[in-house]
Amino acid sequence: MRISVGARTDVGRVRTNNEDSFKLVPELNLFILSDGMGGEAHGEIASNIAVQAVAAHCAEGRRDPSTPLLVEPRPELSTETNRLVSSVELANRMIYESAQKHPAQRGMGATVVAVWINDQRLSVAHVGDSRLYLLRAGDFQQLTQDHSLVAEQVRRGIISREQADSSDMQSVLIRALGIDPEVQVDADEHLLMEGDILVLCSDGLSRMVTDLEIASTLLSQNGLQPAADRLVELANEYGGEDNISVVVVRMEPRPEGLLARVWRWLNEPLNATSSAGGN
C-alpha cells in the first residue's frame, strides 16, 4: 500500500524548549514520536534517544532478521511487532543507562508511540501518554491507552472521564521510558484499509484539542502536511501549554489494476465505451 505522511513539532506558547522528537522512516514505513521529560535540556535528550533507538533497532532487524531481541518474543505478535517491542525496550535501556552515567540527567524520561506498517498489518508499541488514533470511514478512535494516573483511575472506575479531563494530575505518568532498567511495553496489531489515517501525537495536542476537532481537521484539510500544520496551530490557539507534536499517516488508495479496468470496461454501457475509444 502507498503511504503518505505529514509531521510537525512545535514548542507551544508557554515552554521555552521543545522536548518532543519524532522520526519518520518512510523506507520501512516506520513512524515514531516521543515526548521527553526532565530538567534543563534533558527531556530533549531522552526523546531523541527514544526515536533513534527504535528506528535503528527496527532497521537492523529488517537488514538482519537474526539480530537478537531484547525481550522474549510474545507468541501472539508478528515478527515485526515483536521487533518493535524490542526496540522500545532498547530505547528504555539506553535512556536509563545514560541517566545512570550522567548524574545531571537523573530523572529524565520519555514517552514513545511507534507504528510500523507492513503490507496491511499495523504494528503498534507504546509507553506513556503519547497517543495513536485511527480515522477510518469517519470513525475516529484512540488505539492506545494512556499510561497516566488519571487514565488508570478511569480504568479502575475511581473517577469519571470528565473528572480525568479536569484533573490537575494529568501530567502524572505511571509508565515511561528511562525510569527503570526494564519497562512494560504495550503492543497491538490492526489491519489497515485504504483511506485509513493514523495520528501519532504528544499530549500537547490531545490535551488542547478535542478528538472531534482532530478528526474534523483531518477531514477538512487537503493533504497531510497542511493537516499536521493546522493541528499544531489549533493547539497553539487554545493556549499551547505544552510542546505539540503530530505525525499524520495515510494509506493511499491503490491505483486501479488492469483487471479491474477491463472488468469496468466490460460492464460499461456500449455508447460510453465507443466514446472512450474515440479519444
Partner 1 sequence: MPKLILKFEAAVLKEVSVGGQPVTIGRAPDNDIQIDNLAVSSHHARVLAEDNKLFIEDLNSLNGTFVNNQRVQRVQLKQGDQVLIGKHHLVVDMGAVEAPALPDTRKVAAPKVEETMVLDTKKRKELLQQEAAGGGAPGAHERTQPVGTTATAPPRARVASLVVMEGSTDQREYLLSSKLTVIGKSDMATIKLKGWFKPKVAAQINKRDDGYYIGPADKLPTVNGQPIHGPTKLNEGDLIEVAGVKMNFVFKD
Decide if residue 72 touches partner 1 (CB under 8 A).
Answer: no
Decide if residue 104 touches partner 1 (CB under 8 A).
Answer: no
Exactly one of 18, 34, 81, 206 binds partner 1 (CB under 8 A); that residue is: 81
CA distances, 23 to each of 88, 114, 153 (Å): 14, 9, 31
Decide if residue 85 touches partner 1 (CB under 8 A).
Answer: no
User: Any idea which residue has 539506553 for its cell?
Assistant: 94
User: Any idea which residue has 503519547 for its cell?
Assistant: 130
Exactly one of 174, 211, 225, 238 binds partner 1 (CB under 8 A); that residue is: 174
Cell numbers at 176, concatenated: 515511561
Decide if residue 171 touches partner 1 (CB under 8 A).
Answer: yes
What is the rounded distance in angstroms from the CA atom of residue 201 to the CA atom of residue 214?
11
Q: Which stretch binds partner 1 (CB under 8 A): 50-58, 65-73, 151-159, 209-217?
A: 151-159
* Rounded least distance, CB 248 to partner 1, Å: 22
Decide if residue 90 touches partner 1 (CB under 8 A).
Answer: no
- Measured in degrees and rounded to the nearest 5, phi and psi for residue 166 equal -105, 5
Decide if residue 94 touches partner 1 (CB under 8 A).
Answer: no
Q: How many residues bind partner 1 (CB under 8 A)?
A: 43
Chain mean position to CA 98: 24
* Rounded least distance, CB 22 to partner 1, Å: 17
What is the rounded distance in angstroms from the CA atom of residue 200 to the CA atom of residue 209?
14
Decide if residue 40 touches partner 1 (CB under 8 A).
Answer: no
Chain mean position to CA 192: 14
Residue 185, SS3? coil
Chain positions contacting partner 1, by CB under 8 A: 35, 37, 75-78, 81, 109, 119-121, 139, 145, 149, 152-163, 168-176, 179-180, 187-191, 193
